[in-house]
Structure 1
Amino acid sequence: MAIKGLLRFYSVRPVHSVGDDGRMALSDHLRELRGRVMRAVTAWVVALVVALFFFDQIFALVFDPYKQAAERLGGGTDTQATIAGVGGPLVLYLKLCGMAALVVTSPYWLHQIWSFILPGLHAHERKWSRVFAAFAGPLFMIGVLVGYLTLPKGLEILIGFTQADLTNLVEFGDYFSFLVRTLLVFGISFEIPVFLILLNLTGLLPGRVIGQYRPWFVIGIFVFAAIATPSTDPFTMLFLALPMCALVGVSEVIARVLDKRKAARSPYSGLSPDEPSPI
């Protein structure tokens, strides 16, 4: 009986009847939200427990960029990773495993969010949202991978500014926050096509406008890359800027194709510019 009562918290089925238009009672919406949150949290907790047994592998993956940077610096720069406080090791243990569990379960909890939002969308909105969902995830992961590959070089340059008579003590918590921020910047930056195509579909950004302001897009991308990348060398900046420029170009091509399709479907597409349209 207790188990049955507990399982009710995971239920997403409406208690009241659903209208012909798909509308649900507010209590059913809240009940569904509770069920999906409980499912997502439970999946995260299970993944966290599993991640605790793989802490060494997770730590090696996170620490490797700093390790590579320190090896490249050699004896020229004295640097050492540290951890502060009596409870620091435990906090590190839980933080890394918690983040790993969040990443591993992201497809599941994103699906729960998606399933909660989907019934409220129109048919054409569902169609395009599925396309965006299919491309947004892979693009984000590619961006994260590019960011991870550039981190060792960026860290090498930043730590290399340490004076010869000083030791650079890198607190691991600060390093981990820096790593997460950098990967998020790269991941979100690779979502440019998704945002541009979304603006195009809403009619706010035609493809010709993207082409018209392409030089300004490129300048803005390089300025953003210079600020966002973790080092001052041009190579790391190019690792972010060049793919972003290519993605803008791809977005322009897709936007122009979509504009042509919309124009072909328009009932006024055959009219000349001087011919009045029917009211």
Structure 2
Amino acid sequence: MSADETFISHLVELRARLLRVFGGLALGFLPCAYYARELYSLLAQPLLEKLPQGGQMIATEVVTPFFVPMKVAMMTAFLLTLPHTLYQVWAFVAPGLYAHERRLVLPLVFVSSFLFAGGMAFAYFAALPVVFEFITHFAPQGVAVMTDIGRYLDFILTMFIAFGITFEVPVFVVILVHTGIVPLEKLKEIRRYVLVGAFVVGAIFTPPDIISQFMLAIPLYLLYEAGMLVAAFACKSVSAETSAIIRPDRPDAK
């Protein structure tokens, strides 16, 4: 097969995978759109619980009450179909990988989905209540906290993405070590810089209170350490398999 034919076959395969990804998103979006209002009410619960009795949210634009719940439905559909999306990505790149790499990538696909969802859950159940408690507590007397639903969604998405990516740190570490881009020893040497960087990231992506910054920075660093442990174990397993293939053990002498 010529280079042009190979390139075209890759494009056809990419087109098929993309169609499956968008098809999965569309199928996931339909039931989520039906429950869009309930999904937004659930998303707004961490703030509504911290508002004074009778507190509510507002919509400052005409189309906001429709489009904002639809955005929440789309976000929910993306999360529900994330394993399917990542599997399509894996299936596209798998033919170009070695056998031991394929055995590692497929578990990483599902672990990545689980960790991203875990980061969002941590933000929703742990970080957001603390953040909103801090914000509403320091509101001046006589000021009614009535957040626009569109601005609230933007804030929530920022927090979800920040915590979701933070919880992906072990996957990034394993990939860096397994592919040889960064040696494990080098990652161990830069621990102190990672700790400082974790607090910088926490200061950028969270409100200006020390508690929420700690709630992002500490998990980020702990997950970095966990990623190094997993990477060390994975590299030992791959090295053992490679040694067994290159130099099989001799039978014991009698």
CA contact (8 A) 2:48 2:56 kept: no
1:151 to partner: Cα distance? 0.6
Structure 1 counterpart of 2:189: 212
Distance 1:152 1:66 in 2: 7
Of 43, 47, 58, the match for 1:62:
43
Matched letter for residue 87 of structure 1: V
Distance 1:27 1:227 in 2: 43
CA contact (8 A) 1:206 1:255 kept: no
Distance 1:108 1:253 in 2: 28
Residue 158, structure 1, aligned to residue 158, structure 2: no
CA contact (8 A) 1:206 1:256 kept: no
Residue 85, structure 1, aligned to residue 67, structure 2: no
Please give the secondary structure, in 1, of the residue aligned with 2:66: helix
1:185 to partner: Cα distance? 0.4
Shift in CA distance, 209/55, structure 1 to aligned 2, threshold 3 Å: same
Please give the secondary structure, in 2, of the residue aligned with 1:85: coil
1:261 to partner: Cα distance? 6.7
Matched letter for residue 173 of structure 1: G
Listed as ranges, the matches of 1:167-178 within 5 Å are: 167-178=144-155
1:216 to partner: Cα distance? 2.5
Residue 192, structure 1, aligned to residue 169, structure 2: yes
Listed as ranges, the matches of 1:1-279 within 5 Å are: 25-70=6-51, 74=52, 80-149=56-125, 150-234=127-211, 236-257=212-233
Shift in CA distance, 203/27, structure 1 to aligned 2, threshold 3 Å: closer
Shift in CA distance, 207/25, structure 1 to aligned 2, threshold 3 Å: closer
Please give the secondary structure, in 2, of the residue aligned with 1:205: coil
TM-score normalised by the chain length of structure 1: 0.73
1:181 to partner: Cα distance? 1.0
CA contact (8 A) 2:21 2:85 kept: yes
Distance 1:137 1:215 in 2: 28
Distance 2:233 2:19 in 1: 42
| Count of residues paired in the alignment | 240
1:254 to partner: Cα distance? 3.7
1:129 to partner: Cα distance? 1.8
CA contact (8 A) 2:86 2:109 kept: no
Q: Deviations over 1:126-166 (max 9, x none)?
A: 23322422422222222111111211220222244332233
CA contact (8 A) 2:79 2:117 kept: no
Distance 1:128 1:33 in 2: 22
TM-score normalised by the chain length of structure 2: 0.80
Matched letter for residue 157 of structure 2: V
Q: Deviations over 1:241-264 (max 9, x none)?
A: 332222222233344456667888
CA contact (8 A) 1:182 1:230 kept: no
Name stretches of at least 5 consecutive residues in structure 2 with no aligned partner.
244-254
Shift in CA distance, 84/108, structure 1 to aligned 2, threshold 3 Å: same
Distance 2:32 2:85 in 1: 17
Residue identity over aligned pairs, in percent, reads 28
Please give the secondary structure, in 2, of the residue aligned with 1:83: coil
CA contact (8 A) 1:193 1:247 kept: yes
Q: Which moved more, 1:39-48 or 1:257-266?
A: 257-266
CA contact (8 A) 1:141 1:187 kept: yes
1:231 to partner: Cα distance? 4.8
Please give the secondary structure, in 2, of the residue aligned with 1:168: coil
Q: Deviations over 1:210-251 (max 9, x none)?
A: 3333223222223322332235042x3333233222222223
Shift in CA distance, 228/87, structure 1 to aligned 2, threshold 3 Å: closer
Shift in CA distance, 248/35, structure 1 to aligned 2, threshold 3 Å: closer
Matched letter for residue 178 of structure 1: F
Distance 2:25 2:148 in 1: 27
1:175 to partner: Cα distance? 0.5
Distance 2:36 2:55 in 1: 24
**More helix by proportion, 1 or 2?**
2
